[in-house]
Structure 1
Amino acid sequence: MDQQMDQKSMALSEPRSGCPGFTNKQGQYLAFIWAYGLINARAPAERDMQRFFGVTAPSIHQMVLHLERDGLIRRQAGMARSIELLIDHNCLPVLQPCHSVKTSVQRY
């Protein structure tokens, strides 16, 4: 059973044929951009990514610059929420939650 799980996790982390290579972290950012656009019908702002991933604004900006430099996304200068994916969404990994869900409901 453990061997099957190892094979599945390896298959998920390996790039699919015809898909560009990117790191796991880059894949999560790309998956977030795609999912955010699907849900909200617009591209995310860097602040939206910062809130989701729980990292600093400079970290988000550097990641966006790297994704753009690597040809995975495109942005329009001077235009807010202009991030556009340049790869097929079928190449993206499953978006993993970054934070535990916080609730004000008391447990029983």
Structure 2
Amino acid sequence: MNLTFTERQGQFLAYIHQYSLVNGCTPAEADMQRFFQITPPSVHSMVLTLERRGFIRRVAGQARSITLAIAPESLPSLLRVQPTSGQT
């Protein structure tokens, strides 16, 4: 299994980890959508990719069930997402 992730995948993994530390539970896909300012299908596609590549685990049909399957020490620093034009 290839445990290297793209820069974008690393940001999602870092977000999942940081969100969990701050909130005591893992993020919902809607939380990731708001943070990364992307569409629901894009978030869901990324979650499926992370799961397929073995970076996360989920329980089917259970909300907020994402768990990291890799060591948090291997994650990059979470970068702030810049607002798109027209947003403040």
Structure 1: state its 5+ residue gaps: 1-19, 103-108
Q: State yes or no: 1:58 paired with 2:41.
A: yes
User: CA RMSD for the aligned pairs?
Assistant: 1.2
**2:35 matches 1:46:** no
Q: CA deviation at 1:82?
A: 0.3
> What do the CA deviations read for 1:53-97 (whole angstroms, capped 9, x no partner)?
000000000000000000000000110000000000000000000
Structure 1 vs Structure 2: percent identity of aligned residues?
Answer: 55
For residues 39 and 85 of structure 1, what CA distance do their matches in structure 2 show?
15
For 1:83 and 1:46, the matched residues in 2 are separated by: 10
| Aligned residue in 1 for 2:82 | 99
Higher relative contact order (CA 8 A, sep 6+): 2
One-letter amino acid matched to 1:47:
A
**Distance in 2 separating the partners of 1:69 and 1:77:** 13
TM-score by length of 1: 0.74
Q: 1:78 aligns with which of 53, 57, 61?
A: 61
Are 2:74 and 1:88 equivalent residues in the alignment? Answer: no
Size of the aligned set, in residue pairs, is 83
**In structure 1, what is the Cα distance between the partners aligned to 2:75 and 2:59?**
22
- CA–CA separation in structure 1 for the residues paired with 2:69 and 2:19: 15
Shift of 1:99: 2.5
